[in-house]
Amino acid sequence: MTEPSTSPSNAPSQTADLPDRLCTWCKVAMTKRLVAGGQFIHYTCPKCVFQHTTKRAPK
């Protein structure tokens, strides 16, 4: 198995497919999480805890 050790145990497996987003302030990769049944992506910065939510682009 090649699961990343930092993956939250309660996160859906699709998070690897989600686009990365950099924190507006820290310029670091934000933590991704699917919300609203997978319709939205919730990003959280691990450094400053800035949060951002964006709608998933339809395939």
Point out which residues bind Zn ion (CB under 5 A).
Answer: 23, 25-26, 45, 47-48, 50
Q: How far is the CB of 39 from Zn ion (least distance, A)?
A: 24
Determine the Cα–Cα distance for residues 43 and 48; give it in Å rounded to an integer: 12
Q: How far is the CB of 11 from Zn ion (least distance, A)?
A: 20
Which CB atom, from 25 or from 40, has the smaller least distance to Zn ion?
A: 25
Nearest to 38, CA basis, from 22, 21, 54: 54
